[in-house]
A and B are shown apart, each in its own frame.
Chain A
């Protein structure tokens, strides 16, 4: 009985005189009220039910939406890398977002290359995992691999996998030795791309019956999307590769690629021509056999190093059946950056070497064959000029002197060219020896004095120190300083030739300067003054002779030995050349020849 009814009874008792009519109508109203109440209750229930339904589908929508987002991100991130481990990690992170709690993830990557075989189980876990838990995951994964169809994973690798000891690698989370629990819900999904088992993902939880059919379907969907994406990306990569390969095939350089067992995997057309080897079915040893024994040994050794270090090695001159090659040894990597073999690149430099040899030969011809007849002309004309074979009339004497002058000039030009060639081919050697610089420069000046006197000029030598000990190549410095003094004389007018040679310290250098009061270098010629064969206009007018090589040679010598050369000049006022020699001395340079002094 409701409290309302009780109340009504009490009223009945206190007001016995109430009419039956009143009572009946009241009851009626109550009945109606009750009915109304039930109705409204039903209605609100119905509304509540409807509302509940809407809520549920909203949750579902939300979930679907977030799943779609996860998939979208997964596809995007997969494009960043085709490295299986990275792909698996990406996949795992995506799965993690959809299974918020109490789920541990693990994955393995069965590498197709036994050399890089990875036996790690990578783990993402929210809560610490005990040994029992980990062992159970391992067993589960191993079972998945063992039962995988033969075409997905090669037998040999499979046994290696099973026999290798798994290492647990926590990407997220940690181990807890004290936890003795086991996973109560587990399932695996395999990532298979074009008949290759790329990886296995394991999902597990402490709770029993945790994963619904929906969950498993979702995980499978994610894995399938990943597989499709990778498959598409690989196709793209392969078409890119096949383009590169066709380029390699037709390259004029020879390329030999080989695997770890030194079995040749590719030998392009050029390499076939160079070596005479067939494109397939050979081992690298057959290539090495074509080389000189010591070259072959060097190359074998560097290939072994390339496998280990991944470095590239160069050989400047390797002979194969009378042709000369530059040989490069390089590692070959797969798309996961693992070294899977090596490559030998053959660049034919026979022609370059031939040109180089011809140049050297020309230099030697110029040096000996050209200078010898010039020497003979010089000797015979000297005998005429000195009148030892009879008195000459003034014209004869003049002409003979012209012959002598031309011959000397020609010898000088040949010598200059030889020097340039020696410097340019890098064959010039620099051999510094401890020298007392003040006295050495004085001796160069002394040598020039007769010419200065002829020119009615004067030379002053100012030095800030009495003795300077420095390692220099005397021949080269003599060439440079002598050339600067000679220029100072030649490009000054007779009678107005005063030269100032200074030797002073400047920071880490000794500075030798040669100042003249000559014709100067016009502005438009200043930039080119150190260029080979360049002679300024006013210099050409002043002196017919001159090869335009002196300053070029001087600059090459000074710069090769670690020094600096510069000048200051004003037309018609004069020029100063500055040569800075490092206090520690000139650089040492090994070479074949010295310079020819004029």
Chain B
């Protein structure tokens, strides 16, 4: 008896892994067949909120297509009783190949999933020890089916929630971009109308322009995150040379970030297959972060080389470093490092989160090493490449 109980327990645990409800039904029907050495079995599934059944599983050796339960038949009696119904000697002959049978209603609280029916070709006498065993099978099936049902519901709810969130972000971003378009457009229009000598007004207008661009970038980051979480972040497919891309970003940022000197070195050229625009976003993000978290006037070193068969890009700064307590959170959403426990720097803390997803999409890894706190950090990423050429 113990081995039979162990079989039920083992199959119950295994069925918890099943994603498909029909597989669960199959597993429990088969377990019942094995436990009682039945010849065949099947399951009637009760339709939601109805008093009718449908046949959802028949075991391989079932010699006929079982007809659906009849009112006042054994199945209805078993359902009313809610406990396994052992019929050793049916009042009238059912079918030539069904001399005895067991009907196992699967109930969780008042909800009935259906009935498992186990059949015997020859007359079978049931022993009293078999009753608790079949009760265990019935309860286990009910529990697994309930867990499965709840998991499905949670899955559906979370998909719905993510969709609602994306819709919300879409609407918000659209609504925010409309006034930004007006502000940006009219300030540029004003810029076209003022005297060339009016440098102060131009300076003010440039500030408005820079800040509206920043606002748009923030709105776009939020949108990107919501897409990322929905698996809807789009990537284009092209081939690009990585060192040239990094060099171009360094050159652009050397102009944009006047506070730091960004050096660039490379030993090789690497052809990568993927999305060059998004890769540019990653490099830009890593370098601007390096500038944000290091003192004005310090250096930022950027290099591209081959390492362990991968293209390896490093961005080294000589800034504040990352506190050890933050190491686990760096690539998390909305993480912003605090410099020496002082105030937060501006930003939403989404750059590394998005960058990490982009690098992963390219089958690479993004990570960092921190030198001693106060000595700076090195952020690096490695990517597989399709072509390689050592610089001569």
Question: Is B one of A's binding partners?
Answer: no
